[in-house]
Amino acid sequence: MAVSGLIFIGFVLTHMYGNLKAFGGHDSFNEYAHHLREFGEPILPHEGALWIIRLALIVSLVVHVACAVALWRRAAKARSVKYVVKKSKASSLSSRTMRWGGVTLLVFIVWHLLNFSIGKINVQGGATDDPYNLMVDSFDVWWLTAIYLVAMVALGMHLHHGTFSAAQTLGLTNNDKARRNAKAAGALLAVVIAGGFSLVPIFVLAGVITK
Amino acid sequence: MPDTTNTFDASHTGRLDDEYDDAAGYYVDGDPIADTKAPGGPLEERWDTRQFEARIANPANRRRLSVIVVGTGLAGASAAATLGEAGYVVKSFCYQDSPRRAHSIAAQGGINAAKNYKGDGDSVFRLFYDTIKGGDYRARESNVYRLAQVSRNIIDQCVAQGVPFAREYGGLLDNRSFGGVQVSRTFYARGQTGQQLLIGAYQALERQVAAGTVKCYTRHEMVELIVVDGRARGIIVRDLVTGEIETYFADVVVLANGGYGNVFFLSTNAMGSNVTASWRAHRKGAYMANPCYTQIHPTCIPVSGAHQSKLTLMSESLRNDGRIWVPKNKADCDKDPRDIPEEDRDYYLERIYPAFGNLVPRDIASRQAKNMCDEGRGVGPEVEGVRRGVYLDFEEAIGRLGRDAIENKYGNLFDMYARITGEDPYSVPMRIYPAVHYVMGGLWVDYDLQSTIPGLFVTGEANFSDHGANRLGASALMQGLADGYFVLPNTIRDYLAEGPFEKVAEDDPAVVEAQESVRSRIHQLMNTNGTRSVDSYHRELGNIMWEYCGMERSADGLKKAIDLIRTLKQDFWRNVKVLGAAETMNQSLERAGRVADFFELGELMCLDALNRRESCGGHFRAESQTEDGEALRHDDTYAYVAAWEWAGADEKPVLHKENLTYEFVEMKQRSYK
Amino acid sequence: MKFTLNIWRQPDAVTAGKIHTYELDEVSEDMSFLEMLDVLNEDLNAKGEEPVAFDSDCREGICGSCGLMINGEAHGPEVTTTCQLHMRSFKDGDSITIEPWRADAFPVVKDLVVDRGAFDRIIQQGGYISVNTGAAPDAHATPVPKDKADRAFDVATCISCGACVAACPNGSASLFVGAKITHLGELPQGQAERDTRVVNMVAQHDHEGFGGCTNIGECTAACPKEIPLDVISRLNWDLHAALRHGK
């Protein structure tokens, strides 16, 4: 779970970097999108690298979800009779919402792929063959931006605990200092990634980024 | 505490007129008893001799030889583990839900060993000498010397098991001086030495459980001993979860059930600590030796109210820096101590014992605290009309060394005190009062640790053997582990070499009788349907014991106590109220059985104390003191072990005396003035 | 002080339990929590109602017998054991809900008493150093760096009370296992069995039905001995190492 999680961290960081290209304008963004497909050529066929990454992400997702389901089921079996009163003493909200937050992200990913990748749905009915325009058309719609922002909160929280948890699981937090560092890294990644992703939709909605 | 023994000829001052027999009419004289197993010869060779002479059970035979061990403290867990390693079939019993919870876990200070790692002149002989002297010349030389010898092996064993003893920066083991001895021979793991040692023994035990040599029966309490043809052959236990009465047989039975300080109700023992296993064995023929020897620890947290369930000990190292006082005037006793000016404070230990002041031995510090409170100068809350507490004041030490230094040294103790009392000991003087802590008395055993019932061995605090009339600090853990790891496994084999013994028939009359007596006793407890709770009886018994058989005992008081106990015991059997059912977990029933045995033990303790008209170690008789009120021993009359034989419920106990002779140390009277 | 106590009563392991409510008066703030229950039990006994069963033994915070869920917190609102919790930590008139540890690996025996035998069985799977009595070299044969010895001690202070499991939303005993792995793993004497120890203990942990760890940290907050969360990291590190070594 930790390893697949780290792969996702790498992925979202790169993804966010790509998204920020939107601030470079129409051509910069589309060129990046296009280049993703040519990456690795001519050693790899067209879209070869992209498919390798996609495959790795799919495998990671399956592993990540399978582990999560296994843990969830084990937890349910480990305490079949619940407490009448139970308080949380030290845990962060992020740590306690990993499961439902994860489900939220999964639903979001499905929509996100439909929106931009597999389905290419333009809710404004416009063209879908131009990535940049599709993006601007999408985030011009307030409720779509809202969905994305909610998802980014979920992502931030997931990363906040997930980063630390991955470090623990990998056995990298063997003392106080390492543990504090891992927690700080979690918070930093959460802010940077969720924040970074949120910039583009917000700026589109605000009319700064336009077609 | 500091060593200041003066040579003192007891034959002059200590002479006792033969006419004294305070306990006349309460007991019957029996034949003398002797330890027939200890070899003679040079002291240092005796243990080797015995180990060599003790037969070895054929290794191939061992898996047909079975051992029952009752209790999983240091003495029980270490014995069970070691016997399992040797290949015997071991059954281990404890009343707790895990072997690791036995009360050895609560020992704080440390464990002595004559390693001489500090090069400060320690040796096996010195540890032996200190132990004999600390025991006020009421322990056997052979036993104590062996204890000092094996003390060294204990440390090796524990370190190999992973016990995290305190270490110096060089990576070697740290030692401290403890209880005022002049050498640093105490190994420790912060203030939790007992816990770490017990976890070591527990892990060794669980390893044998995994190996299949030991089977653990947790939440099982021994309620009867089975003696067939004069040999201990098994035990009857109550499964504390189902209430079922179960019978287990073996070739040999080892009792390691700890001490009986809870006869006082309030003590530093665990709530469940009890005498039942020992007492059942006593009733079946095992002699009880020196039951009156009780160690009372001076630095415990005082009783705060009538609801109190137990007392908590704080390390006596506190006396190194704290000053003990009470107000000079009774009128000041309810004042805030910070408002009592220096000239109105009585630093009574410093006043009475100018040479040793606050560092006088445990029994003196305890007794003087009682005297102050009896005079009406005690402090703290009034419980049943008396304030039972004295101040232990760190103001001067904080002024001299700074708060940080005190916090470094005693921080955890101060925290514990603050948590229990709700007071901040850095700004308000601590209140302390003595509490029962350890019993030196126990079942009589020979050098092999075998009781007067063949096949019944007794280890640790449950036996009487090594501490005489008083125990040195940090020696309880040493004795428990010495017995369990090194002594018992090497002596029990001599007995087991005769086995396996003939299988005991389930319907053997002795077995049936034992089962019947257990059932009828439980039936009686469950069906008395009286009006008083078990705890209320226990509390009352404790008050009697503490008042008359506590820090200071007198003939009149002890006789009165015996009468009171007899009356209370009768009332108990007529009027106790135990609710619930016997066939389920029933904690009231568990306690009722224990308290019933405490009554009988309490009476015997008073009788033993009554018989011993001398003051020695933890036993102070008002009739036997110097003009200055100090303890006075009578070696010419009482240099013996009092081994009591049960003669029947309405019969007078029989006293067998084991004479103590000292070939290697000279008996001296102590003085701390 | 006066309290309303909502206490889980369950006659035995198989019969269903439920919360009973009792009013208790004349509680002193100097009482420990368990002494307060003693008073309640004396009360119940006098009224002819069977006393509440609960585990307790040393009552000085070291044996690990006691352990109650008090108002949803393992061992109550302070960082200590239930026996060392005092009534001054509550307000007069408070309503207090008392439940047993809840974990399927710790089945309820009666009322507030649970069976923690699973912990013993985990230790049986390697929570020791294999050295027979008498087989030990001199204690000074192997120096142990002080920082390692101190850390081993710090985590060896675990009292096996089960609060970590009780507090964990996943019902995991990883803190308990991690503490033992770290204790023995810090010491030179513990190295020989380090790989097999962690593999077998974790396998037993899972077999007992404890949940998996998601590093939430409720365990360490409930731990009366303040065992830090990094023992779980250490457990994971050792487990990965053991798997790499093919154990």
| Per-domain boundaries in chain A | 2-80+90-205
- Domain containing residue C12: 3-110
Closest to C209 measured CA to CA, from A68, A69, A74, B98: A74
Asked if residue B289 lies in contact with residue B641, where contact means CB atoms within 8 angstroms, the answer is yes
Q: Is the pLDDT of residue A122 over 90?
A: no
| Residue C11 shares a structural domain with residue C95 | yes
| Set of chain A residues whose Cβ sits within 8 Å of the Cβ of C220 | 90
Once rounded to an integer, what is the mean pLDDT over residues B59-74?
Answer: 96
- Beta strands in B94-172, from DSSP E residues, in sequence order: 111-112
C99 forms bridges with which residues in the sheet? C69
pLDDT band of A118, cuts 50, 70, 90? confident
With an 8 Å Cβ cutoff, are A84 and C214 in contact? Answer: no
For chain C, residues with pLDDT lower than 50 are: none
Once rounded to an integer, what is the mean pLDDT over residues B199-210?
Answer: 98
| Set of chain C residues whose Cβ sits within 8 Å of the Cβ of B585 | 12, 53, 109-110, 113
What is the rounded radius of gyration, in angstroms, for the C-alpha atoms of chain A?
19
Give per-residue pLDDT as tens, B18-51.
558 999 999 999 999 999 999 999 999 999 999 9
Name the residue among C105, C214, C235 with its Cβ closest to that of A165.
Answer: C214
Can you give the pLDDT at residue B9? 41
| Set of chain B residues whose Cβ sits within 8 Å of the Cβ of C160 | 98, 100-101
With an 8 Å Cβ cutoff, are A84 and C71 in contact? Answer: no
| Set of chain C residues whose Cβ sits within 8 Å of the Cβ of B265 | none
Give per-residue pLDDT as tens, B430-469.
999 999 999 999 999 999 999 999 999 999 999 998 999 9
With an 8 Å Cβ cutoff, are C125 and B308 in contact? Answer: no
Angle (CA) B417 B419 B424, round 5°: 60
Give per-residue pLDDT as tens, B126-173.
999 999 999 999 999 999 999 999 999 999 999 999 999 999 999 999
Name residues 433-472 of chain B within 8 A of C (Cβ): none
The DSSP secondary-structure symbol of B485 reads I
CA distance A180 to chain C (A): 11
Closest to B633 measured CA to CA, from B128, B293, B148: B293
- Asked if the C-beta of C192 comes within 8 angstroms of chain B's C-beta atoms, the answer is no
Closest to B538 measured CA to CA, from B238, B266, B259: B266
With an 8 Å Cβ cutoff, are C140 and B270 in contact? Answer: no
| Residue C89 shares a structural domain with residue C166 | no
With an 8 Å Cβ cutoff, are B156 and C32 in contact? Answer: no
Q: Which residue has the tokens 């040519």?
A: A38
SS (H, E, C) A83-144: CCCCCCCCCCHHHHCHHHHHHHHHHHHHHHHHHHCCCCCCCCCCCCCCHHHHHHHHHCCHHH
Residue B358 is which amino acid?
A: N
For domain B296-437, which architecture applies?
Alpha-Beta Complex (3.90)
Residue C100, φ and ψ in degrees, nearest 5: -75, 165
| Residue C131 shares a structural domain with residue C223 | yes
- Separation of alpha carbons B644 and B657, rounded Å: 9
- The pTM (predicted TM-score) of the whole model is 0.95
- Separation of alpha carbons B186 and B178, rounded Å: 6
Once rounded to an integer, what is the mean pLDDT over residues B560-588?
Answer: 97
Give per-residue pLDDT as tens, B350-364.
999 998 889 888 888
Asked if residue B530 lies in contact with residue B576, where contact means CB atoms within 8 angstroms, the answer is yes
CA distance A70 to chain C (A): 9
Q: Is the pLDDT of residue B672 over 80?
A: no
Average pLDDT, chain B: 94
Closest to C50 measured CA to CA, from C71, C20, C87: C20
| Residue C164 shares a structural domain with residue C193 | yes
- Asked if the C-beta of A85 comes within 8 angstroms of chain C's C-beta atoms, the answer is yes
Domains in chain B: boundaries: 26-293+440-496, 296-437
Residues 6+ apart with CB under 8 A from C213: A168, A169, C168, C170, C172, C174, C232
pLDDT band of B413, cuts 50, 70, 90? confident
Closest to B316 measured CA to CA, from B284, B349, B358: B358
Residue to mutate among A1, A73, A83, A163, with most C CBs inside 10 A, is A83
Can you give the pLDDT at residue A127? 81
Chains C and B touch (3+ CB pairs under 8 A): yes
Residue B450, φ and ψ in degrees, nearest 5: -95, 135
| Set of chain B residues whose Cβ sits within 8 Å of the Cβ of C193 | none
**Treating both helix axes as pointing N-terminal to C-terminal, what angle do C194-207 and C117-124 enclose, rounded to 10 degrees?**
150
In CATH, what number is assigned to the domain containing residue C190? Answer: 1.10.1060.10
- Separation of alpha carbons C12 and B242, rounded Å: 9
Name residues 9-28 of chain C within 8 A of B (Cβ): 11-12, 28
Name residues 63-122 of chain C within 8 A of B (Cβ): 63-65, 78, 80, 84, 86, 88, 109-110, 113, 115-117, 119-120
| Set of chain C residues whose Cβ sits within 8 Å of the Cβ of A96 | 169, 216
Cis upstream peptide for A42 (omega within 30°): yes
Cis upstream peptide for A45 (omega within 30°): no
| Residue C64 shares a structural domain with residue C144 | no
Name the residue among C63, C116, C150 with its Cβ closest to that of B270.
Answer: C63
Task: Say how many domains are in chain C.
Answer: 2
In CATH, what number is assigned to the domain containing residue C26? Answer: 3.10.20.30
Neighbours of B160 (CB within 10 A): 23
Range scoring the smallest mean pLDDT among B273-287, B383-397, B518-532: B383-397
Is residue B377 flagged as an active site residue?
no
Name the residue among C58, C133, C140 with its Cβ closest to that of B82.
Answer: C133
Q: Which residue of B has its CA nearest to C79?
A: B419
- One of B140, B233, B319, B362 is an active-site residue; which one? B362
H-type helices in B430-533, by residue range? 476-481, 488-496, 509-527
With an 8 Å Cβ cutoff, are B105 and C58 in contact? Answer: yes
Give per-residue pLDDT as tens, B462-489.
999 899 999 998 999 999 999 999 999 9
| Set of chain C residues whose Cβ sits within 8 Å of the Cβ of B157 | 131, 133-134, 136
Token pair recorded at residue B184: 């640093």
Can you give the pLDDT at residue B673? 66
- Asked if the C-beta of C205 comes within 8 angstroms of chain A's C-beta atoms, the answer is no
What topology is assigned to B26-293+440-496 in CATH? Answer: FAD/NAD(P)-binding domain (3.50.50)
Give the Å distances, CA to CA, from C62 to A71, B105, C238: 32, 7, 28
Asked if residue B326 lies in contact with residue B466, where contact means CB atoms within 8 angstroms, the answer is no
ipTM above 0.95, yes or no: yes
| Set of chain B residues whose Cβ sits within 8 Å of the Cβ of C133 | 78, 81-82, 85, 157, 204, 485-486, 489
pLDDT band of B272, cuts 50, 70, 90? very high
- Separation of alpha carbons C203 and A191, rounded Å: 37
- Asked if the C-beta of B41 comes within 8 angstroms of chain C's C-beta atoms, the answer is no
pLDDT band of A211, cuts 50, 70, 90? confident
Q: Is the pLDDT of residue B630 over 90?
A: no
Q: Is the pLDDT of residue B12 over 70?
A: no
Can you give the pLDDT at residue B384? 81
Q: What is the spatial order of strands in the sheet that C18-24 belongs to?
A: C18-24, C3-9, C95-99, C69-70, C73-74
